[in-house]
Structure 1
Amino acid sequence: ENSIYGRCTVGDRWSSQQGNDANLPDGDRNWSNRNTFGAAEGATSDDFKNPGYYEIRAEDMSVWHVPNNFPLEHWNLAAILRYHTENHFLRLYGGNLFQMFSQYPVRYNVGSPGNRGPAIPILYDHGDKESTKMLYGPKSRGEFEPGFITFRAINERAAMAICSGVKPVRGYNTEHYCIGGGGYFYTDQCGDFPSFDWDRLGMEQGWSASKEITESAVLLFYR
């Protein structure tokens, strides 16, 4: 997320750079296309996607949340959260996220909250269930269970790509704790971190996520 204040503006490559538009329900489609951009060394400063996203055949994933602008050599130690999967779930979905999101498109009006994709148990490398829970807003904590990574969550009608570290279990306000998306959301939600600042940026009140997670890059690795 290059600017939490931009609503599907330039730089929101993991949702839409074309404005909040119901006529573009898929947005930029970068979860399910072969577009590439950015550089690995700058991945905590700007969006990055390489051909490995769609070419690698993997079994599992690791996810790191690293504060913005940290250099590559410090990512491991700087991360506020690191976890991985071990159940080889990608075998069931074509071996990578490109294939998974082809099966579970990140698109406005694709379904209801009950039509979310898989929720996969995670093992923590840095952090735990309690620290994960505290990264999101007080109201959000009542809607999810920590200890999972969830794919293609849906609120009332808008789809988000990933709920990092959590699984929605009740309610449908996933825009406050899931990332990525299609091209249309409810007013003031469209973007790569859709509505992490609903009750003011980084205030950890109401639905607002913590400053820590809002100002960190999400790095996805295949295993």
Structure 2
Amino acid sequence: MVLTPIFLGILFSLSLNLWLCEAASVIILDQEEVPYVKTSDTKAKLEDAILQGRVKQVARSCKELHEKYQVYDDGLYYLNSSRGVLYQTFCDMTTAGGGWTLVASVHENNMYGKCTLGDRWSNQQGSDPNRPDGEGTWANTVTFGTAESSTSDDYKNPGYYDIAAQDVSVWHVPNNIDLEQWSASSILRYHTENHFLNLYGGNLFYLFKKFPVRFGLGTCLTDNGPAIPIVYDTGNVDYNKNLYGPNSRQIFTPGFIAFRVFNTERAAMAFCSGVKPTACHTEHFCIGGGGQLAIY
């Protein structure tokens, strides 16, 4: 992928953390609640209770955790999917009233690589016309990584495809930052608030089922997916715009998150962070992709 030097130095040296607004669980055990896992003793207690079959009830939404159980602290929580898969992730109880859960992070481990090992959100086997979907990560149920290390590696948990959500939040966090510092260290944070996911199946998994990230499936601008207005939590329109190179600034409008866009060569990119394309050279400022990248 061809990227401007400014874009390389700022955005792709970061991890993008993706959040859904509806996303956590409180575990109910025999008359006691263990909603927040902070110490090894609490974690061991919960795991022991699971092994003994004492888990009686779960709440699958951060909003429910926030409103019903009065849990207001940001931090790591155990969640439970609709299929009974227990996992741990980070819950943001602060932004826009709280109720956001980390479901994925897109981490760049090699700025000079083009679809190389570790590029789970595009293709780890190079540009390959025989794999137009690449890894297919945007629209499959494969999970990887851990929440705690999501600024050091890619991350995706069952909440990505399991949660019925309404909105999305994105944080741009420098690599290798401890989770306690994610919010303060973010160079850009924003969220949607128009409940757009209600129109596309309730989460990113179903949105990308409707708008597959696949080479040659459409043409630029005409067949792009939705572009949703955003509200900035860190940064603003001008700051967002200036994160990109001078040429790129001429071909997008800041203040949006755009999904599944095509470039001139009909290569698909998953989303454009904080901007909406107005021309076709989307490879310079959008991320994620399929298995074939015809970019010159």
Tell me if TM exceeds 0.5.
yes
Matched, 1:168 2:277: yes
After superposition, residues 103-142 of structure 1 pair within 5 angstroms as 103-113=210-220, 114-142=222-250
In structure 2, stretches of 5+ residues that fail to align are 1-107
1:131 Cα offset (Å) = 0.5
In structure 1, list runs of 5 or more residues that go unmatched: 189-223
Out of 61, 73, 77, which is 2:184 matched to?
A: 77
Select the residue among 189, 196, 213 that pairs with 1:89: 196
- Sort the Cα spacing of 1:145 and 1:66 in 2 relative to 1 into closer, same or farther, 3 A: same
Matched, 1:58 2:149: no
- The Cα offsets for residues 122-150 of structure 1, whole Å up to 9 and x where unpaired, read as 00001000000011111000000000000
- Alpha-carbon deviations, 1:155-187, whole Å to 9, x = none? 021000010000011x21100100000011125
How many percent of aligned residue pairs carry the same amino acid?
A: 63
Alignment partner of 2:287 out of 158, 161, 179 = 179
Q: 1:158 aligns with which of 267, 275, 279?
A: 267
TM-superposed CA distance for 1:22, in Å, is: 1.2
Aligned length: 187
Q: Distance in 1 between matches of 2:185 and 2:294?
A: 34
Question: For residues 46-97 of structure 1, what are the alpha-carbon distances to aligned partners after superposition, in whole Å with 9 as ceiling and x for unaligned?
Answer: 0000000000000001110000110111000000000011100000000000
Give every structure 1 segment of 4 or more consecutive aligned residues whose post-TM-superposition deviation is greater than 6 Å.
Answer: none
Helix, strand or coil: the match of 1:94?
A: coil
Secondary structure of 1:42's match?
A: coil
Quick one: distance in 2 between partners of 1:104 and 1:39?
27
| Cα distance in structure 2, aligned partners of 1:83 and 1:46 | 21
Relative to structure 1, is the Cα distance of residues 39 and 145 closer, same or farther in structure 2, using a 3 angstrom cutoff? same
Greater RCO (CA < 8 Å, at least 6 residues apart)? 1
Partners of 1:108 and 1:7 in 2: how far apart?
16
Larger radius of gyration: 2
Q: Distance in 2 between matches of 1:138 and 1:112?
A: 24
In the alignment, is residue 13 of structure 1 matched against residue 120 of structure 2?
A: yes
- TM-score, normalisation: structure 1: 0.82
Secondary structure of the residue aligned to 1:150 is strand
Tell whether the 8 Å contact from 2:267 to 2:295 is kept in structure 1 after alignment: no
The structure carrying a bigger strand percent of its residues is: 2
Superposition map of 1:180-195 within 5 A: 180-187=288-295
Could you say what the CA RMSD is over the residues aligned between the two structures, in angstroms?
0.8
SS in 2 for 1:100: helix
Q: Which residue is 1:193 aligned to?
A: none
Q: Distance in 1 between matches of 2:237 and 2:136?
A: 31
Q: Secondary structure at the match of 2:156?
A: coil
